[in-house]
Amino acid sequence: MNTATEPIHLMNNYARWPISLVKGQGNQVWDDQGKQYLDFTSGIAVTSLGHVPPKVTAKLHQQLDTLWHCSNLFHIPQQAVLSEKLSKLSGLDSAFFCNSGAEANEALIKIARRYAQKVKGTGRFEIITFSQSFHGRTLATLTATGQDKVKDGFAPLPTGFVTVPYNDLAAVEAAITDNTCGIMLELVQGEGGVHPAEEAWVQGLRKLCDEHGLLLLVDEIQTGIGRTGTWFAFQQYGVKPDAISLAKGLGSGFPIGAIVATSEVAQAFAPGTHGTTFGGNPLAMTAGIATLETMEEEHILERVGQIEKQLLAGLHKLQADHPTKVVAVRGKGLLVGVELAIPSADVISFAREQSVILLSAGPNVLRLLPSFITTQAEIDQVISVIDKALTQ
């Protein structure tokens, strides 16, 4: 294995593995020593169609030769196409495009406040969020995040967020005040341990929002774009949010973020109220359009369902074979958590030696995020590696 270290002129804010990846194709990646790995993380829920997916790559090549950047002083035709697609798929009405997940959640928070204050004419600003959530690393989004580790050393934090336990309706009800303008949540908490929301709870949240005039804001940055087996996770809960945020899987690896809201909420972003230089640029829009087109043409949601079944079959066998070490298997679609009685880091480093890249979600949970083109053979390879790691 190569022993890559952090370059001395680079900030040391990532605890990196001693590997430099230089090439990817499908579910395989290669390091600078020529060693090949199976990527069972999809670059953390990003490369859902595999690395360098051919159709998206071809469209990006065309766009690279045509126009890279265009400011939002002009109409950008690809924004019309992608927003229409997202609207059709989500049942929501209007999109705003930005460049990352945190930036999408910033927009979600800003539109919720502005809707309360300028459209509804109230003084409301507070957003209820949840323990173990993850919403990003900007000041507002790390404040919304229900994990102390991301807040350490960044005081003073913005006000206007209150964090309550997940899957607990009474706690939410008790936290609603005259200042509350919205409730913001992930439907499967990804980073925080792969915890799915309960259906009755989410329906209860929708009801509370309707009764109290609050917005239901769903962070679909990790769960969206097919990851949980439907285009968006909320479609499995029988509720319609007022607005959602998207990023990770939307561009197949090209940086992109978005929010999509009802037309009612979208009124809050009038000209001049919010914006970004790069957001919605022709390259990112092309990546987003090509990603969604490919997923539609290749009936990718059906494949997600099939791969999920194959993966769960393997994991349940693993659980039966290692009943004391595999505590739980949970998640939705291809966002799967395997809770272990041993440190997840031990399994991850063993797997890496066996040329399989896995991810954690906390100290005892493996987070499996295979691509939507994963084969039975690749699943077998991963199950066998985890089996060996647990047998040691």
User: C-beta of 212: minimal distance to ligand PLP in Å?
Assistant: 24
User: C-beta of 139: minimal distance to ligand PLP in Å?
Assistant: 13
Measured at CB, which residue is nearest to ligand PLP? 101
Q: In terms of CB distance, is 79 or 222 closer to ligand PLP?
A: 222
Q: In terms of CB distance, is 247 or 389 closer to ligand PLP?
A: 247
User: How many contiguous H segments (helices) and E segments (strands) does the chain have?
Assistant: 12, 17
Q: In terms of CB distance, is 198 or 387 closer to ligand PLP?
A: 198
User: C-beta of 111: minimal distance to ligand PLP in Å?
Assistant: 16
User: C-beta of 98: minimal distance to ligand PLP in Å?
Assistant: 10
DSSP H stretches of helix in 189-281: 199-212, 263-266
- Measured CA to CA in angstroms, residue 34 lies from 7, 22, 121, 181, 218 at distances of 21, 9, 60, 52, 41
- Measured CA to CA in angstroms, residue 117 lies from 39, 129, 259 at distances of 45, 20, 19
Q: Which residues pair with 38 in a beta bridge?
A: 28, 356
Q: In terms of CB distance, is 63 or 100 closer to ligand PLP?
A: 100
The residue among 266, 224, 292, 251 whose CA lies nearest residue 98 is 251
Q: In terms of CB distance, is 138 or 267 closer to ligand PLP?
A: 138
User: What count of residues does the chain have?
Assistant: 392
User: C-beta of 265: minimal distance to ligand PLP in Å?
Assistant: 19
CB 131 within 8 A of CB 163: yes
Q: In terms of CB distance, is 63 or 129 closer to ligand PLP?
A: 129
User: C-beta of 189: minimal distance to ligand PLP in Å?
Assistant: 8
- Measured CA to CA in angstroms, residue 15 lies from 11, 18, 97, 203, 318 at distances of 11, 9, 30, 39, 29
Q: CB under 8 Å, gap of 24 or more: what pairs does 137-143 form?
A: 137/102, 138/102, 138/103, 138/105, 138/106, 140/105, 140/106, 140/109, 141/102, 141/105, 141/106, 141/109
Q: In terms of CB distance, is 247 or 315 closer to ligand PLP?
A: 247
User: C-beta of 271: minimal distance to ligand PLP in Å?
Assistant: 26
- Residue 273, sorted as left (phi over 0), alpha (psi -120 to 50) or beta, turns out to be alpha
What are the residues binding ligand PLP (CB under 6 A)? Answer: 100-102, 105, 134-136, 186, 190-191, 219, 221-222, 247-248
Edge-to-edge strand order for the sheet containing 36-39?
21-25, 28-31, 36-39, 356-357
The dihedral sign for the CA sequence 173, 175, 176, 182 = negative
Q: In terms of CB distance, is 119 or 150 closer to ligand PLP?
A: 150
The dihedral sign for the CA sequence 55, 61, 67, 68 = positive
Q: In terms of CB distance, is 233 or 390 closer to ligand PLP?
A: 233
Q: In terms of CB distance, is 63 or 133 closer to ligand PLP?
A: 133
Question: Count of CB atoms within 10 A of residue 381's CB?
Answer: 17
User: C-beta of 2: minimal distance to ligand PLP in Å?
Assistant: 26
User: C-beta of 177: minimal distance to ligand PLP in Å?
Assistant: 25
Radius of gyration of the chain (CA): 21
**Residue 96 and residue 83: Cα distance in Å, rounded?**
8
User: C-beta of 205: minimal distance to ligand PLP in Å?
Assistant: 17
The 8-class DSSP code of residue 21 comes to: E
